[in-house]
Structure 1
Amino acid sequence: MKTILITGATSGIGKSTAELFAKQGYRIIICGRRTEVLESLKTELSQYTEMFSLKFDVRNLQEVENAINSLPEEWKSIDVLINNAGNAHGLEPLSAGNTNDWDSMIDGNVKGLLYISKMIIPAMKERNSGHIVNISSVAARQTYVNGVVYCATKKAVDVISEGMRLELTEFGIKVTNIQPGAVETDFSLVRFKGDSEKASTVYAGYEALKAEDIADAIAYCVNAPKHVSVSDMTIYPTAQAEPRTIYRK
């Protein structure tokens, strides 16, 4: 039975992915920053499979190292790493940007992905098998006004995914880069710092993707035959033509 580690598993795409893989019978390690939510999800999904939870912040290297090193021996062999944790903060031009927001996005979306991957990859290379799924965004494909830093971090995820593939294919390790379009989760609520009215306008007038849609796509890639490796996947809601263009009713 394969073991899957999912970062940012307490909400949105990460939570839906954990739910889907648990129902498919994989052993799941869920990671996040909120102990109560982690334990609740662990209890809920334990009816389907073996579950383990790790509380840490991917932005903190010491926390990442301590968490991964704390895994019991029977949980150390991770077959699939899903780098889902990330964030978007603020929607201002660079000249008015909040540098704390920039740090949060760069630390979470880029450095956090690197920290956790560095901890997991060596064992995959030793076993000559594994699969890494990185969650990027269509924001990597086209920069938009007032989203420069966020777009840059997601472009970095694309580049890191490509670099991983170049370094790891010879070891039998698959690398998949997923670029979701507009997905109705807490993403916009976080970006607008809890302003639910502003967040709701992002998804008004059309049917956005759901977290479950991205979980389905991830599962397709992970469940593909051994000789099949999905390198990149871009997923839009039907109403979205490109990152900046959504047709609303």
Structure 2
Amino acid sequence: MSTALSRPRRAVVTGASSGIGAATVRRLRTDGWDVLATARRADRLAELAAETGAEAFAADVTDADDVARLAAHVQATGGLDALVNNAGGAFGLDPVADADVEQWRAMYEINVLGTLRVTQALLPALRERGEADVVVVTSTAAHGAYEGGAGYTGAKHAERMLATTLRWELVGEPLRVIEIAPGAVETDFSLVRFDGDAERAAAVYAGYQPLVADDIADTISWALSRPPHVNVDLLVVRPRAQASNTKTARTGV
């Protein structure tokens, strides 16, 4: 965060193989950061590394051993100035009465416990650096409910509480905790949610202009670039057409 640093700042970005994560890697590299991009899909990470000059590190945030390897690598290769907890996802859109327990479990594992594992593991490196940042990419689902979304909104509410509580617990230390809560962003998010049903996924973004991954990467970059005494507690970023999780102005649909 300090302009007096002679070395580039270094960030870890989780969920970096696609969507918001990949866009954030590209943006931070453009801004002059050293970036360690991590995700499960090693092939996509390798392509991103070749494109951007980022370092690729294949790891699953739901696997404790993988996270331990990631933390050891960070400590051994230069420390850390920022962690961008971006890995996450939604599975299914079923009502509570018909919800798949395993889908709920998977959402809690990646969105909540994955963020917890990585943050716990990398917090020592951030503390050693002094001024450093933890970014948690939640969702507008962390701030409101919608029918069919209880599993995802519940997981994202929990992730939001993780970020908020961590901020309270770190107060007085030179560490910032920043929550970025995107609304509708056209990535492969809905394709994953609907198990590859392209038509159903496309319908989520029909009739209005959704955000794109670069919009959120730009927001993350801006928040990280604030002076060290400025903490951006929360940024909710929606398309102009989206007033809430359940109200979007659509045309021609």
TM over 0.5: yes
Task: State how far apart, in whole Å, the 1-side matches of 2:187 and 2:236 are.
Answer: 18
Whether the aligned pair in 2 keeps the contact of 1:2 and 1:27 (CA below 8 Å) is yes
Could you list the per-position Cα deviations for residues 124-174 of structure 1 after superposition, in whole angstroms to 9, with x for gaps in the alignment?
Answer: 223432100001111111111110010011111111111111111311100
Q: Which residue of 1 aligns with 2:43?
A: 36
2:58 to 46, 55, 60: 55
Q: Which residue of 2 aligns with 1:23?
A: 30
Structure 2 residues without counterparts, runs of 5 or longer = 1-7
Residue type matched to 2:71 in 1? I
Cα–Cα, structure 1 residues 35 and 127, in superposed 2: closer, same or farther, change >3 Å? closer
Cα–Cα, structure 1 residues 124 and 70, in superposed 2: closer, same or farther, change >3 Å? closer
Q: Which residue of 1 aligns with 2:115?
A: 113
Task: State how far apart, in whole Å, the 2-side matches of 1:102 and 1:68 are.
Answer: 27
1:68 to 53, 66, 71: 71
Could you list the per-position Cα deviations for residues 81-129 of structure 1 after superposition, in whole angstroms to 9, with x for gaps in the alignment?
Answer: 0000001000001221112211110000000000000011123223432
Whether the aligned pair in 1 keeps the contact of 2:75 and 2:125 (CA below 8 Å) is no
SS at match of 1:10: coil
Residue type matched to 2:103 in 1? D
Whether the aligned pair in 2 keeps the contact of 1:137 and 1:154 (CA below 8 Å) is yes
Q: Which residue of 2 aligns with 1:85?
A: 87
TM value normalised by structure 2? 0.94
2:238 to 228, 236, 244: 236
Paired residues, number: 244
SS at match of 1:70: helix
Q: Which moved further from structure 2: 93-102 or 232-241?
A: 93-102
Task: State how far apart, in whole Å, the 1-side matches of 2:240 and 2:75 are.
Answer: 44
- Listed as ranges, the matches of 1:85-234 within 5 Å are 85-234=87-236
Task: State how far apart, in whole Å, the 2-side matches of 1:220 and 1:182 are.
Answer: 20
TM value normalised by structure 1? 0.95
Whether the aligned pair in 2 keeps the contact of 1:90 and 1:191 (CA below 8 Å) is yes
Output the aligned Cα RMSD: 1.1
Counting aligned pairs with the same residue, the percent is: 36
